[in-house]
Amino acid sequence: MSVDYDELDFDEYGSVLHEGVVFTGEAHEPNPRGGLLARASYLNGVKHGEYQEWHANGQLAREGRTRYGRAVGVHRQWHPNGRPAREAVFDDDGRFVSERRWDEDGNPVRDAG
């Protein structure tokens, strides 16, 4: 099932609902200029699987993967000009491992981990 983010709600526990039922499927936010601003997968009311977000100019802003609501693997972010902004790595249990950041000109800003 694929729905617009505007069709989703949250219950008191933070679970994502669609029409009052815990949501499993893909949610998306259309860009008024065409294409998408965001897309994410959910399983039993929590973010689970691939997600992507785009800047208003259509440039990819961030992408990554979640497992039962926790970030896993490599998560990347980009500046609106398309240059890398951040790369964060999480282990299979969602624990932070390392991070790299760059400014809009591509210069390294910070490494952690």
Which pLDDT band, with edges at 50, 70 and 90, does 111 fall under? low
Give me the number of domains the chain comprises.
Answer: 1
Mean pLDDT score of the chain: 96
Confidence at residue 47, expressed as pLDDT on a 0 to 100 scale: 97
- Which CATH number is 16's domain given? 3.90.930
Question: Which of 98, 99, 71, 72 shows the shortest CA–CA distance to 85?
Answer: 99
Which pLDDT band, with edges at 50, 70 and 90, does 113 fall under? low
Question: Which residues lie below 8 Å from residue 63, measured CB to CB, with a gap of 6+?
Answer: 50, 51, 52, 53, 75, 76
Distance from C-alpha of 69 to C-alpha of 40, rounded to nearest angstrom: 11
Give the mean pLDDT of 7-29: 97
Confidence at residue 40, expressed as pLDDT on a 0 to 100 scale: 98
- pLDDT at 75 exceeding the cut of 70: yes
Chain-centre distance of CA 103, in angstroms?
20
pTM, rounded to two decimals: 0.88
**Domain of 106?**
2-112
Two tokens at 66? 């979640």
Question: For tokens 């609106």, what's the residue?
Answer: 80
